[in-house]
Structure 1
Amino acid sequence: MIRLWMSSSLKLAELFVSCMVHLLYGFYIFSSAVAGDISQMLNEYFSKSSMNVEVNDEVPKGNTHVDDLPPIVLVHGIFGFGKGRLGGLSYFAGAEKKDERVLVPDLGSLTSIYDRARELFYYLKGGQVDYGEEHSKACGHLQFGRIYEQGHYPEWDEDHPIHFVGHSAGAQVVRVLQQMLADKAFKGYENTSENWILSITSLSGAFNGTTRTYLDGMQPEDGRTMKPICLLQICRIGVIIYDWLDISWLKAYYNFGFDHFNLSWRKMGVWGLVDCLLGNAGPFASGDWILPDLTIQGSIKLNYHLHTFPNTYYFSYATKRTRKIMGLTVPSGILGIHPMLFIRVLQMSQWRHPPDVSPPYKGYRDEDWQDNDGALNTISMTHPLLPIEHPSRFVEKDSDCQPLKPGIWYYKIVEGDHIMFIINRERAGVQFDFIYDSIFERCRKHVFRKTIPTLRNEVHQ
């Protein structure tokens, strides 16, 4: 009887948390689209109870031991989660089972690109997350965070590089991490370099920002502050209360990643909660959270310091669910788009930058940003474009990039909405296997060899 009661209580608790998470999801990128997919998956779960590069055209076989293969690290996007969260639900819809050397880190789902990049480093190398003294003071949070007693790939270095696959904001997290490695930004690790990363694959990656942020409440004037009344304000209040309650089993089930801000009632009390809700303290007050990084202005600010490196392979899948009809950009059908993302695709395709507000960059045109997948603009996902356009090549068919060369962003346009290749693999159908099989096969074909000269980035005109 007691066991039955405990089992029923646990299921009710998990459903309660999932409902809270779904509600918050609904206010941004995944919208209630992800909520529906997660609900479906949970119901099914409960019903069951500087170097040169050579290309090796063959996937390692024979005497190659699994432990000798470079890991493939899957990095989730905004509101995402890693292995072990949400009752064992897979953010990448089980794609991690396609290869024996895949890691799925759990990073802050709403924390800034910078903070998530720091967390990713220590997740792999081990030790206590160090956000950096200067950054921590400027943003008003603790310098040190979670402790990884054992890194998930402690041998990681230039001789043991890694493949990264990032979805949505996760792709930009990996780019920031690579720049940090190049800049030797981790105290106690003076030997890091950009060559610790073998390849970066972006799946609907947020490289150049999105107009969706303005629709949800970010101010187009600065790309940093929120409108007084908007969906993001409701999200902000929900997250603050969730973290303030600090219920251990809830946080273990799903965590927004703001533990280093000490938002718990045990640390700040009632008056601290009031201060946060009024916008005087916490991550939303300091701007150290994900949304400012996803505006066009925020992305440009980040991209100023990020390079494309000559010894790393880059490949990007940009998703799109729009088409042109009589000169107008509209959703490309109804059946191919998640019902709860259809409205967002339509809104983004009709977005117009306020005429009384300075454009986010010189040469901005609304029509360039109309194609989208319901969360990101297609132009943002192809390759780093603003403020400097990096070397790139459009891929129509796979033979266009054979052999693959490092230091160039190869990009492909894929028909799909923003969550087509995550959470629920049934929606993507055969495309799911095609995309991930291609990614993992590409990762297994490339290895570092000798030294080559540096390639320069091209200036965007």
Structure 2
Amino acid sequence: MFRLWFGVLQLSELFLSSVIHLAYGFYIFSSGVASDLSQAANECVKPNRSIGVVDEKPERSKRSDGLPPIVLVHGIFGFGKGRLGGLSYFAGAEKKDEHVLVPDLGSLTSIYDRARELFYYLKGGEVDYGEEHSKICGHSQFGKIYEKGNYPEWDEDHPIHFVGHSAGAQVARLLQQMLADKAFKGYENTSENWVVSVTSLSGAFNGTTRTYLDGIQPEDGKSLKPVSLLQLCRLGVIMYDWIDIPWLKNYYNFGFDHFNMSWRKMGVSGLVDCLLGNSGPFASNDWILPDLTIQGSMRLNYHLHTFPNTFYFSYATKRTRKIMGVIVPSSILGIHPLLFIRVLQMSQWRNPLDVSPPYKGYNDKDWQDNDGALNTISMTHPRIPFEHANQLVVNEYECQPLQPGIWYYKIVEADHIFFIVNRERAGVQFDLLYDRIFERCRKHVFRTTPPTLPNHMQQ
């Protein structure tokens, strides 16, 4: 009887979580459509406009002032400029500086695939995922073609600032490691010094226990539970890609085009294979969720370095507090409905007794504080399997000038999506956070004396 009631409770929670996530996804999608319709209506009523004239600035911009671009890298289920109409993943933060790039990477593709895509988005050319990796994971070696890179002059003399949200922070780290390892064919001169700084906003450095709540098996950090939120997600993504409606995929794309899951290429038999888990990204674990488990993050971190000439800063978010020795959500209205249940569940997560801890020294209590998507301990700096040099920051102005090769981190009271998509939720905190990030990139984070700043950025 107990098992029956427990099963009913689990199914009820799965149903509720599915409804909430679908409702939020529809809200985001409809917001993008509404934004497009509003913009189209405004264009129609504007006088003296020539047909076909577009005001939107291209992603590439002139950088005659010598300032390196700031590249905003989105997280899981995220999107870059050009997707979802006029909607901004970073809630318009990119408008705070003239030299900001917002790449559109695979929203569910692996950290590895996204890092490769980001390189070619910047340098230009056809995305090359690597011959060996492509064969192992069962997808095409080549992907999207960028006829003109968004920063083709990128090199050690023309470096970049990366600002990554959630999984985007790991993408930036892996790309920097690839540059150090000279991992791009035809580019033998790359180095870690192509990156001036990496700023993380709720960065997924060490994985999250939420992956296990959503359906990843804690035993291996890869396989999916038969009945779970991620199973529903897997089936939905496969069908979305297989149906392959061009205008819909142009509007929002999960990023699996290189797996050729369209009905035009794999037919019905291929669809059945994917649904049964015999092929596709979910069969080869070449998607983002296995990278976000504690085990998957350890595998990534084992090869990623903190480089001595690069500046690092991290904002770790939390929406929990301790009451009478128990970690609970710190707010009801202050936590997005999409995340409230997960904040509570993650604060009570315990590694199963019959499952070995994900790493030596693991303690459930260390992982209780969270923001509804990631554990706070995971967001401060790379910790496992090796802890990188780090320093807690209380007042950012007290740690100037920053020293390279050290992860400076600050704890912020916010949930995981507080500083993205909806600017009104964060209010004045939104401008304070992004103004500080951009100011640091422009004034305090340079290997040499920075060039003269535009008047509007000088104090």
Instruction: Give the conservation status (yes or no) of the 8 Å contact 2:314–2:381.
Output: yes
Quote the Cα distance in structure 2 between the aligned partners of 1:164 and 1:374.
24
C-alpha distance in structure 2 between counterparts of 1:27 and 1:153, whole Å? 40
Q: Which residue of 1 aligns with 2:374?
A: 376
Displacement of 1:366 after TM fit?
A: 0.5
Residue in structure 1 matched with residue 436 of structure 2 by the alignment: 438
1:7-406 alignment runs, 5 A limit: 32-33=23-24, 36=27, 39=30, 42-43=33-34, 46=37, 49=41, 67-406=65-404
Conserved 8 A contact 1:79-1:110 = yes
**Structure 1 residues 238 and 38: alpha-carbon distance in aligned structure 2, compared to 1, 3 A threshold:** closer
Task: Give the distance between the partners of 1:214 and 1:390, measured in 2 at CA.
Answer: 26
Tell me how far 1:107 sits from its aligned partner.
0.2
Question: CA offsets, 1:233-255, max 9 Å, x none?
Answer: 11000000100111110110000
Inter-CA distance 65–251: structure 2 relative to 1 (3 Å threshold)? closer
User: Aligned Cα RMSD in Å?
Assistant: 1.9
Contact 2:31 2:87 in 1 (8 A): no
Conserved 8 A contact 2:163-2:201: yes
| Rounded Cα–Cα distance in structure 1 between residues aligned with 2:378 and 2:125 | 34
Q: What CA deviation, in whole Å up to 9, does each residue of 1:414-439 have, x standing for no partner? A: 00000000000000010000000000
Q: Which moved more, 1:29-38 or 1:213-222?
A: 29-38
Size of the aligned set, in residue pairs, is 412
Distance 1:74 1:410 in 2: 19
Answer whether contact 2:329 2:343 (CA < 8 A) is retained: yes
CA 1:245 to 1:78, structure 2 compared with 1: closer, same or farther past 3 Å? same
TM-score (norm 1): 0.86
Preserved contact between residue 197 and residue 310 of structure 2 (Cα < 8 Å):
yes
Q: Distance in 1 between matches of 2:401 and 2:260?
A: 50
Measure how far apart 1:339 and its partner are: 2.2
Match of 1:448 in 2: 447
Contact 1:37–1:424 (Cα < 8 Å) also in 2: no
Offset from partner CA, 1:131-188 (integer Å, 9 cap, x none): 0001000000000000000000000000000000000000000000000000000000
Distance in structure 2 (CA, Å) of the matches to 1:47 and 1:429? 23
Equivalent position SS for 1:146: strand
Counterpart amino acid of residue 398 in structure 1:
E
SS at match of 2:383: coil
Matched residue SS, 1:166? strand
Instruction: Tell me how far apart the structure 2 counterparts of residues 40 and 148 of structure 1 sit (CA, whole Å).
Output: 28
Report the AA paired with residue 363 of structure 1. Answer: G
CA apart distance, 1:399:
3.0
1:384 deviates by 0.3
Offset at residue 403 of structure 1 (A): 1.1
**CA distance in 2: counterparts of 1:235 and 1:349, whole angstroms:** 24
* Partner AA of 1:432 in structure 2: F
Aligned equivalents of 2:26, 2:177: Cα separation in 1? 34
3-state SS of paired residue (2:119): helix
Q: Is the 8 A contact 1:217 1:230 kept in 2?
A: yes
Residue 437 of structure 1 aligns to which amino acid in structure 2?
Answer: D
2:261 touches 2:280 (CA, 8 Å); kept in 1? yes
**In structure 2, how many angstroms separate the alpha carbons of the residues matched to 1:213 and 1:333?**
23
CA distance in 1, matches of 2:245, 2:79: 18
- Sort the Cα spacing of 1:140 and 1:67 in 2 relative to 1 into closer, same or farther, 3 A: farther
Looking at structure 2, the residues matched to 246 and 34 of structure 1 have their Cα atoms a distance apart, in angstroms, of 19
In structure 1, what is the Cα distance between the partners aligned to 2:242 and 2:384?
A: 37
**Distance in 2 between residues matched to 1:169 and 1:162, nearest whole Å:** 18
Question: 1:14: which partner in 2?
Answer: none
Taking a change above 3 Å as real, the CA distance of residues 345 and 293 of structure 1, as seen in their structure-2 partners, is same
Give the conservation status (yes or no) of the 8 Å contact 1:31–1:341. Answer: no
Within 2, Cα distance between the matches of 1:155 and 1:323? 47
Measure how far apart 1:87 and its partner are: 1.4
Structure 1: which 5+ runs fail to align? Answer: 1-25, 50-63, 451-461
Decide whether aligned partners of structure 1 residues 122 and 45 sit closer, same or farther in structure 2, where only a CA change above 3 A counts: closer
Q: CA deviation at 1:36?
A: 4.2
Q: Post-superposition shift, 1:335? A: 1.6
What amino acid sits opposite 2:193 in the alignment? N
Question: CA contact under 8 A between 1:38 and 1:423: conserved in structure 2?
Answer: no
Are the equivalent residues in 2 in contact too, given 1:125–1:156 (CA < 8 A)?
Answer: yes
Q: Deviations over 1:286-328 (max 9, x none)?
A: 0000000000000000000000000001000000000000000
- In 1, are the aligned partners of 2:393 and 2:409 still within 8 Å (CA)? yes
**Relative contact order (C-alpha < 8 Å, sep 6+): which is higher?**
1
Deviation at 1:342, TM superposition (A): 1.0
The AA in structure 1 aligned to 2:426 is A
Measured after TM superposition, the shift of residue 340 of structure 1 is: 2.6
- Cα gap change, 1:44/1:112 in structure 2, threshold over 3 Å: closer, same or farther? closer
